């Protein structure tokens, strides 16, 4: 057999490599556009699809661990008695807990224990923490009450 008649049995992978590199470059160019599309989506607030009614009792806890029951500052020790007093005035025995993201979960557990002791049937932990505006409003509202009472 002469060298002209020999069969070429090796596969040339150069064109295959070129195709994969081109596909990789295309994906690298297109991928950031998929991420930028997500920026235009406005996610709904976390409430599991159920709006929290303002008729419920609401316990708010700010960064410093100060508790407010329906906007009125209370001591943690008085929480059970305040909830027990408030319960008959409510349409449903439900308690909403709103806490800043830096509040320790042990504080929220204390509120849960107080709600159980006051025989509340349902406890809702709000998905979004207290906003700075809400914290400021609560603080100002209670500062005004203290000044008027003094």
Predicted local confidence at residue 66, as pLDDT = 82
Does 128 or 56 have the greater pLDDT score?
56
Of these ranges, 30-34, 68-72, 129-133, 146-150, the one predicted with the greatest mean pLDDT is 68-72
Residue 84 CB partners (closer than 8 Å, separation 6+): 118, 119
Going from the N-terminus, what domains does the chain have, and what CATH number goes with each? 57-149 (3.30.420.270)
Predicted local confidence at residue 69, as pLDDT = 84
Tell me the C-alpha distance between 138 and 99, whole Å.
13
Q: DSSP letter at 126?
A: -
Q: DSSP letter at 87?
A: G
Q: DSSP letter at 6?
A: -
Whether pLDDT at 17 is above 90: yes
Q: What is the pTM of this model?
A: 0.52
Sheet containing strand 94-99, edge to edge, reads 72-74, 67-69, 57-61, 94-99, 122-125
Whole-number average pLDDT of the chain: 75
Could you tell me how far CA 43 lies from the centroid of its own chain?
A: 11
pLDDT in tens, 65-123: 788 888 788 888 888 888 888 888 887 888 888 877 777 888 888 888 988 888 888 88
């Amino acid at each position: 057999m002469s060298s002209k008649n020999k069969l070429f049995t090796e596969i040339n992978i150069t064109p295959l490599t070129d195709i994969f590199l081109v596909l990789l470059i295309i994906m690298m160019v297109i991928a950031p556009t998929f991420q930028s599309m997500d920026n235009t989506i406005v996610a709904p607030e976390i409430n599991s699809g159920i709006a929290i009614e303002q008729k419920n009792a609401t316990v708010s806890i700010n960064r410093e661990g100060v508790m407010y029951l329906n906007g009125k500052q209370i001591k943690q020790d008085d929480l059970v008695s305040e909830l027990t007093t408030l319960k008959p005035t409510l349409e449903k025995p439900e308690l909403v807990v709103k806490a800043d993201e830096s509040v320790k979960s042990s504080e929220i557990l204390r509120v849960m224990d107080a709600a159980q002791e006051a025989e509340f049937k349902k406890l809702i932990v709000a998905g979004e923490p207290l906003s700075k505006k809400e914290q400021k409003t609560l603080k100002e509202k209670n500062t005004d009450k203290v000044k008027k009472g003094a």
